[in-house]
Structure 1
Amino acid sequence: MTPTCEKIDELLDLVKQQQMFLEMFARSWVSDYRSSGGTVFCGKGCSNCCSLAVHTGFAEALAVARQLDDSQAEAVEAYAIKLRDLVQGVTELPEYLRLHRQQMGFCPLLNESGACSVYPVRPLSCRSLISTKESIWCGADFSQIAAAQRDAFIASLDRKVVAFPSHYVAVLQESGKELEETCAKRMRALFGFALYGNLGVLIHLIRSHGLDVACCSGAAACAEALVKSGFNHPLLVTIS
């Protein structure tokens, strides 16, 4: 095994540990919250949150990429190319997020029953998204909701636990972000840079454009791979 492979394996081991930690933390938090009278609505098949744009670090995307079969990879490729074409000329994050939700549909890794087909290796950003409101709110476009209904929603939120004005649990989202940054710092220490981006785009770049191989050669090689593939868009992938 080469030193470079050892570096990638170290990142994957770190990600696995982080995901296990967050999984246990989330389960414990949900159990305590329910015991105190709170309600968590997440469950298998309630996939409205899966219309959100999922962004993650390189190592988490690599872990998912290594689990995919050809059919899943084809679905991810179609998603990535569609998103690449959609964001041409888009420069602002809010517009990107709005376009993603309105035009990209659901995550390409959902199966026919609306469940995650890569659930054991799903990213931290997915694991940390725990809802204190019904699934319908996870798919709501608040720009299209009447003011009175929007005000009623905001008034119903448990502000002690949510990342206000969202209905998602704040402490779990904060933990997920801290773990992501820890992994990014480790990648910078090992490789001299870190990669972060849209999950589907990163998976496609790993499987079809050798992004994992490029990482072994350095940031310049990664930047070149992004240019050659047409995915050199700061809203899709960033090199830090």
Structure 2
Amino acid sequence: MPRYRLTIEYDGTPYAGWQRQDNAPTVQGAIEAAIFKFCGDRNSLGAAGRTDAGVHALRQTAHVDLTKDWAASKVRDAVNAYLVLAKDSVFLLNVEKVPDRFDARFSALGRHYIYRIINRRTPLALEANRAWWVSKKLDTDAMQEAAQLLLGQHDFTTFRSTQCQSKSPVKTLDVLDVQRHGELIEVRASARSFLHNQVRSLVGSLSEVGSGRWNNDDLLAALAACDRKACGMVAPAHGLYMIGADYSPIL
């Protein structure tokens, strides 16, 4: 069976996350339904990251095996056509044939996320479901300084969901940068893999630093506690975007 790599963009607002569920709309479910209408295959998609309800993606990666050897452009256009008919907010940016050894999850060498905060007094109209509105002025220089303390390998138990299924809480954080562009604050995070809710937990705790409620020592104490109760607020899902995953060029 030929294997296809899918690059996917979606607005996560109407979905209960990536992973297929029996009684709720999901991103995976929408794409699999469109594939079935296109070619009759009921094969499951694998994904680089199983995003939560409300989380968006600019470039999610998935793979799927199809029975027939279709042209990649045909798969893209046909699946997108059925997604349009279903009024889904999920589309395939690109489709390409890949070797059977390619796995969107296990072949990934790195994953990248961006978290968007709109920092202003006025509530959001156009970006209500696409960024976190924080009305109190945040000190992004303080947030950036604190973020650098979290780089490298740590036990991130404090910053993971109690429902996280990862075998180990130890992860290596390669990038955690905070930048302001006027009212917009962007937090970029990169690692080979992340724990469940890790990015949102880190952003929420950095916001505690930005607001002045925490300082660097408070953040380090939270990290060292290895206790979920020590985490600051968890930033809402609608500000988070998966922006890509890295793979070896030989794949």
What TM-score range do you get, normalising by the shorter chain?
A: under 0.3
The structure where strand makes up a greater share of residues is 2
The structure where helix makes up a greater share of residues is 1
Length-normalised TM-score, structure 1: 0.27
Length-normalised TM-score, structure 2: 0.27
